[in-house]
Amino acid sequence: MDKANLHRQLSRQLNKYLSDDFIAENENVKRFVEVVNQSYFNFEKDVELFEQSSRLNDIEFHKINKKLKGELEKKENIQTKLIQSIKQLNNSEIKVEKDDNLIDLLNILNKEIEFKKEFENRLFEAKSNAEKANEAKSDFLSIMSHEIRTPLNAIIGLIYIMEKENTLESFQENLEVLKHSSQNLFLLINDILDFNKIEAGKIDIEKIPFNFKDLVIQIGKSQETRALENLNKIEVIIDDNFIPNVISDPLRIGQVITNLVSNAIKFTKNGLIQIKIDQIRKSNSKSVFKVQVIDSGIGIDLKEFDSIFQKFAQAETRTTRQFGGTGLGLAITKKLLNLLNSDIELESEIGVGSNFSFVLELPIVPEKNQPNNSILNNDEVKNLDGLYILLVEDNLINVKIADKILRQWNVEIDVAENGLIAIEKFKQNKYDIILMDLSMPVMDGYEATKIIRSTGTRIPIIALTASSSYDDLEKIVDIGMNEYVIKPFNPDELYQKLRKYY
């Protein structure tokens, strides 16, 4: 047996325990040694193969593990970016659990993108509407400039002519034109101020008893002269079953009906304007009735129904050029009716005419409290005999005008040139009402009112102001004034305010 072919481990064991001769002499031992030797070599080879396989497996595992780790990092990066994108889209905190998958995040992102698109569309629409509103305001300012300058031109021109002619005939002839022009100017400005007050929520609806039938008849009569200018006739038709004595705000209701009648006159030539009242139903305490203003004028396309009630809008631009107006009258009418828990309805046909109507539900005046007279008109005698007023005003022209108007109503007045003098006079005299201008030297009306109110008095204080801004009107109420009258004021409106505290 060649020992050179033996495995080194087996060779050491044989040298230790068996001699070469013993192995050579025993054939069975020799074959056993050969088998064991082959087993040693086979085991060594298996170990080598196992180690090589293990090394290969470790390398492959490392590669695969590295690749998986990279994929997981990519997923986490994508997930983080998706979450950041979602947060940037809606600027809110998004809570995402660890096990949220990319599909869910993509769905969230898709929804947020859709929401963002919708939001941007709304912004674009709002921008478009704002641009249209600005265009409408520009048109409105252009119209207002024309409408204000027209009566002003007549007033200035006629005053110049009257000064030059300086005759009684010239005075009488031009007085009516001056009066008409000044009234038109007043109505134009009043429309703007009224709309401003409504927008600011500064118009309160009064609840006083009055005769609705008389109110409508007076409006019809007051509009007859204007109607005749267009060769129109005004007709008032009142249901025989109509209950006239109701409780509400006659001034604002009168304003609504006057606006509608005035509009009907403006857009009707050689036609008929009807004011109709129909009783719908009644109970012991409530009356429900319908008011209609019907004309035979140019009519309105029903497609323009919504636009004619928007501020600064008219059905067509050429309407303004042909008939004039600010485009605020119907907007004011609609808002006033909303304050009266009603709304405006329209039936119209081009070339045939229009029917504006609204329904009111008002409390009926109890028999024992039936009003003796209706809402006051220009021809009615106004009397506030015994009323003592402190007029706080620094403008001498305004003082002179107010003095003449108030004395026509038998009002006794005292004048203070500023707030400081007003406080001293208030302490020395017992007035019924204070008419307080706001902008004055030395001490303004705001400060004077605060000091007067600090004495604990509850004397009615009515502000006279040329400002109609939201902030100023809010401040008037906050410092303790009871009412305000915006200049240029309507004497009838001032009378109603004073009569309220008479």
Strands (E), 202-271: 208-211, 233-238, 245-248
* Residues 215 and 342 occupy one common structural domain: yes
**What pLDDT, on a 0 to 100 scale, did the predictor assign at position 184?**
65
- C-alpha distances in Å from residue 448, one per residue of 349, 389, 398, 432, 487: 57, 16, 19, 17, 20
Whether 94 maps to a domain, the answer reads no
Structural domain ending residue among the three candidates 22, 57, 73: 73
Q: Which domain holds residue 433?
A: 388-500
Whether 116 maps to a domain, the answer reads yes
With residue 338 as reference, give the H or E element that holds it: helix 329-339
Q: Are 272 and 235 in contact (CB under 8 A)?
A: yes
Q: Concatenated DSSP letters for 352-415?
A: TEEEEEEEEEEEBPPGGG--SS-S--TTS----TT-EEEEE---HHHHHHHHHHHHHTT-EEEE
CATH of the domain at 253: 3.30.565.10
* Planar angle of CA 398, 149, 316, nearest 5 degrees: 125
| Of residues 245 and 225, more confidently modeled | 245
Q: 3-17, 66-80, 259-273 — which one is most confidently predicted on average?
A: 259-273
The closest alpha carbon to 244, from 92, 65, 370, belongs to 370
* pTM summary value: 0.52
* Residues 364 and 227 occupy one common structural domain: yes
Q: Which two tokens stand for residue 495?
A: 């009378």
CATH of the domain at 110: 1.10.287.130
3-state secondary structure of 230: coil
What strands lie across the sheet with 345-349, from one edge to the other? 233-238, 272-282, 286-295, 353-363, 345-349
**What pLDDT, on a 0 to 100 scale, did the predictor assign at position 5?**
75
The closest alpha carbon to 401, from 491, 466, 467, belongs to 491
Q: Are 301 and 319 in contact (CB under 8 A)?
A: no
Whether 245 maps to a domain, the answer reads yes
* Residues 350 and 267 occupy one common structural domain: yes
CATH of the domain at 409: 3.40.50.2300
Query: Is a pLDDT exceeding 70 seen at residue 94?
Result: no
**CA trace torsion 27, 33, 34, 37 (10° rounding):** -170
**What pLDDT, on a 0 to 100 scale, did the predictor assign at position 93?**
53
* Residues 279 and 178 occupy one common structural domain: no
| Of residues 335 and 23, more confidently modeled | 335
Structural domain ending residue among the three candidates 73, 96, 129: 73
Whether 87 maps to a domain, the answer reads no
Query: What's the mean pLDDT in 278-307?
Result: 87
Structural domain ending residue among the three candidates 369, 403, 429: 369
* Residues 489 and 410 occupy one common structural domain: yes
* Residues 191 and 221 occupy one common structural domain: no
Query: What's the mean pLDDT in 1-21?
Result: 73
Q: Count H helices, E strands: the chain?
A: 15, 12
Query: What's the mean pLDDT in 316-324?
Result: 44
* Residues 282 and 355 occupy one common structural domain: yes
Whether 30 maps to a domain, the answer reads yes
- Domain total of the chain: 4
* Residues 141 and 219 occupy one common structural domain: no
* Residues 121 and 262 occupy one common structural domain: no
Distance between CA atoms of residues 439 and 150, nearest Å: 30
Q: Which two tokens stand for residue 93?
A: 């905190």
SS (H, E, C) 122-166: HHHHHHHHHHHHHHHHHHHHHHHHHHHHHHHHHHHHHHHHHHHHC
Distance between CA atoms of residues 406 and 421, nearest Å: 21
Whether 92 maps to a domain, the answer reads no
* Residues 241 and 336 occupy one common structural domain: yes
Instruction: Please write the tens of the pLDDT for every residue from 324-341.
Output: 455 577 888 888 899 999
The closest alpha carbon to 106, from 72, 69, 75, belongs to 75
Q: Would you say how long the chain is, in residues? A: 502
pLDDT confidence band for 317 (50 / 70 / 90) = very low
Distance between CA atoms of residues 167 and 147, nearest Å: 30
Distance between CA atoms of residues 427 and 146, nearest Å: 49
Q: What is the DSSP letter of 309?
A: G
CA 419, 421, 426, 427 dihedral sign is positive
* Residues 166 and 216 occupy one common structural domain: no
Distance between CA atoms of residues 247 and 366, nearest Å: 10
Strands 272-282 and 345-349: unpaired
| Averaged pLDDT of the chain | 78
**What pLDDT, on a 0 to 100 scale, did the predictor assign at position 315?**
41
**What pLDDT, on a 0 to 100 scale, did the predictor assign at position 432?**
95
Instruction: Please write the tens of the pLDDT for every residue from 368-386.
Output: 666 554 444 444 567 899 9
- Helix ranges (H only) for 18-26 are 20-25
The closest alpha carbon to 501, from 409, 455, 432, 453, belongs to 432
Strands 286-295 and 272-282: antiparallel
Instruction: Please write the tens of the pLDDT for every residue from 101-156.
Output: 666 666 766 776 777 778 778 878 878 877 776 666 665 565 566 566 656 666 77
**What pLDDT, on a 0 to 100 scale, did the predictor assign at position 145?**
61
Whether 53 maps to a domain, the answer reads yes
User: What type of residue is 400?
Assistant: K
Q: What percent of the chain has pLDDT over 90?
A: 28
Q: Are 486 and 466 in contact (CB under 8 A)?
A: yes
Instruction: Please write the tens of the pLDDT for every residue from 41-81.
Output: 777 777 777 776 666 666 776 777 777 777 777 767 776 77
* Residues 285 and 171 occupy one common structural domain: no
Q: Which residues contact 146 (CB under 8 A, 6 or more apart)?
A: none
Return the minimum-mean-pLDDT range out of 25-34, 263-272, 350-359, 429-438. 25-34
Whether 172 maps to a domain, the answer reads yes
3-state secondary structure of 347: strand
